[in-house]
Amino acid sequence: MRKDFIETLLRGLYSAVLYLLLPITVYHLIWRGFRVREYFRRWDERYASYPQSAGEPRVWLHAVSVGEVNAAAPLVNALRERHPDIRWIITTITPTGSQRVRALWGEAVEHVYLPYDVPDSVNRFLGHFKPSLALILETELWPNLLFGCRDRGIPLYILNARLSARSLKGYRLLRPLIARALHGVTCVAAQSREDARRFIALGARAEQVRALGNLKFEIHPPDPTAVLQAFRAHVPSSRKVWIAASTHEGEEQAVVDIHARVLAQHPDALLLWAPRHPERFARAEALAREQGWHVATRGAQQWPTADARVFVIDTLGELMQFYACAQVAFVGGSLQAIGGHNLLEPAAMGTAVVTGPHLHNFSEISRRMNEAGALRVQPDADGVAGEVLQLLDDAATRERMVEAGQQLVTNGRGALERTLALIEPRLP
């Protein structure tokens, strides 16, 4: 009885705070909308207001943004192939995640934005789509959503679950509530034993948690032949080419400074630059032009021009193929305390990988790559610049890193089959 009372009290307090903060979400959407116009659209979905009846139940998968959608893609594709009659509802939070869902599956799956975690919105969402199975990717621990699935008897799996030491510490105040919400989860399928231990420390029961491996290793690189041939028709193989991928606002000046050092030694070197967020495409181009460099973009010129020193990849969904065009890749989100981005994609495409020190979102992957000799980690931008320069001039070291990275990706596979075996018995 006391346990039920405490849960009711905690849920009530948590929900009351969210209701008080709800008006701020409008200002947040407006503020984001001035930077990314898509945030001005589809507000009804974010508050779980749907104009039409949803019809029959669906399998629901939530992937917050592009990285999680990409991680979920092999799983969704395998399930769609094995069970073609299942209807899917896939939710994201970001517009780029939404665009990635559409790029992968078009109208074959339904997509809406995940509503805010207030009880009314959660109840409308679950009541509208009537999911028969819920699959949540990585670290989306929204208490009312988890409780809502439990209260409706919806089996819920947290797949490819990860929880860094930093995130575990950040959940301290909400731990009593999160722990109770986790008790209603069918299974937490963790990326690693360390992630599994942290979920148990957060409050999940040991029997609920299994370490199945990381779905990101299930990457199957696209064939880059066509892109590489077209690229080489414009950029001879004698030019030094490096790529700065998934960079954030606070890293952009560092990218410019690194490229200035590269050009000092290799005057015809080319930087491929793919900012993480579309709203930063124009700013990256402007920063490069401010240095007096000739700049081409994927959207305008399609390919680098002969005099270009920077080529901005201002499109979505093409980054992996452009990794194959570079000799060295710097993966952003790592010079700031963001936690890094996917390191396996450049490794799988045959590119030597360099990062900054902030890798808490990819701690297991970065550790394994580092131990295998497939990754160079530097403490700051100056170190990254030195590493990029060294690797551009050292083909033998690059080749060893590439071989180690591709072998690691191959050896790391297996999480997909283990995950399928876990959830298939619960499919409708």
Looking at the chain, the whole-number percentage of residues with pLDDT higher than 70 is 99
User: Quick one: DSSP state of residue 424?
Assistant: G
- What are the residue ranges of helices labelled H in 291-342? 319-323
CB 302 within 8 A of CB 308: no
Residue 128 near residue 150, CB atoms below 8 Å: no
Say whether 126 sits in a helix, a strand or coil. helix
| N-to-C CA span, the chain | 34
Count other C-beta atoms under 10 Å from residue 126's C-beta. 20
Instruction: Record the tokens describing residue 53, joined without a space.
Output: 């009846």
Calculated CA dihedral for residues 326, 227, 69, 45, nearest 10 degrees: 120
Q: Which residue has the higher pLDDT, 291 or 219?
A: 291
Q: What is the pLDDT of residue 42?
A: 96
Q: What is the DSSP string of 220-284?
A: -----HHHHHHHHHHS-TTS-EEEEEEE-GGGHHHHHHHHHHHHHH-TT-EEEEEESSGGGHHHH
Both tokens of 283, joined, read: 């700013």
For the stretch 70-113, pLDDT in tens is: 999 999 999 999 999 999 999 999 999 999 999 999 999 999 99
Q: Is residue 5 very low, low, confident or very high in pLDDT (cuts 50, 70, 90)?
A: confident
Q: Of these residues, 45, 68, 138, 251, which one is catalytic? A: 68
Instruction: Please tell me the distance from the alpha carbon of residue 221 to that of residue 215, in angstroms, as a whole number.
Output: 14
CA proximity to 332, closest of 93, 141, 67, 70: 67
Please confirm, yes or no, whether 68 is among the known catalytic residues: yes
Q: What is the pLDDT of residues 236-283, one digit of tens each?
A: 999 999 999 999 999 999 999 999 999 999 999 999 999 999 999 999
Residues 185-198: tens digit of each pLDDT: 999 999 999 999 99
Residues 378 and 197: their CA atoms lie apart, in Å, by 28
